[in-house]
Amino acid sequence: MLEKCYEFLQNEKPLRDANLTDMEEKIIRSYQLLTHKPMLIAINLDETQGKDIEKHFEILVKHKIGKNTKAIAFYGQIEMEMSELSDSDAAIFMKEYGIKESALSKLINEAYNLLGVHSFFTVGEEECHSWTIKKGMNAQEAAGEVHTDFYNRFIRAEVVHYDDFINYGSFAKAKEQGAWRLEGKEYIVKDGDIILIRHN
């Protein structure tokens, strides 16, 4: 396997583009090789380059974009200026330059996607906590990320999605509207779920 990787690197190709088997992927992960890791390319443009963005991306895609690689473009100077404005003034700025979301938000979202993770929330009387987990984890596995006892003693999960909670305004109203559900251990946790873990 290492000889295969060596040959790939000798041809100046990143290991993230190699067609490795599941077993090879599992083994190579332990070596923490840099070109095997996902790559996020951040292109900092100035305001005059907005019209040429497609040209820049075309060049980048041709030469750099491969497997597990993403690129985003943003206006660093404008983002810095916007951070000093009120929300309403920043919204005007964003509209003027055709910016749909902040660079920070873009970076976080793309990084999460590349790493194959997302977040769920646990809420108590005193605090709300966000937990980052691998996509595809079930409720019992997610509970184990909070505490190992929750995995071992898992019974059920009470679940409401963040969007439903905001829409209805409270857990009680979400429950009344049928947006609050009881789920078993095989439930696949979704990004933005708010979960109350029941355990014995």
Please tell me the distance from the alpha carbon of residue 86 to that of residue 137, in angstroms, as a whole number. Answer: 39
User: Distances in Å between the alpha carbon of 182 and those of 122, 178, 179?
Assistant: 15, 10, 10
Sign of the C-alpha dihedral, residues 46, 91, 114, 67?
negative
Supply the pLDDT for residue 137.
97
Report domain extents, the chain.
Answer: 39-115, 116-199
The overall average pLDDT reported for the chain is 88
- CA distance linking residue 19 with residue 31, whole number of Å: 17
pLDDT greater than 80 at residue 102? yes
pLDDT in tens, 66-101: 778 888 888 888 888 888 888 888 888 788 877 888
Give residue-wise pLDDT tens across range 40-54.
988 887 777 666 666
Model pLDDT, residue 50: 62
Q: Which amino acid is at 179?
A: A
Q: What is the mean pLDDT of residues 103-122?
A: 93
pLDDT, position 165: 93
pLDDT at 62: 67
**Cβ contacts of 2 within 8 Å, gap of 6 or more:** none
Q: Residue 173: which of 165, 181, 162 has the closest Cα?
A: 165
Cα–Cα–Cα angle for 142, 146, 152, nearest 5°? 75
Q: CATH assignment of 116-199?
A: 3.10.20.30
Alpha carbons within 13 angstroms on the beta-carbon side of residue 181 total: 12
% of the chain with per-residue pLDDT over 70: 92
Distance in angstroms (rounded) separating the CA atoms of residues 109 and 113: 6
Give the pLDDT of residue 52. 66
Residue type, 111: A
150-166 pLDDT, tens digit each: 999 999 999 999 999 99
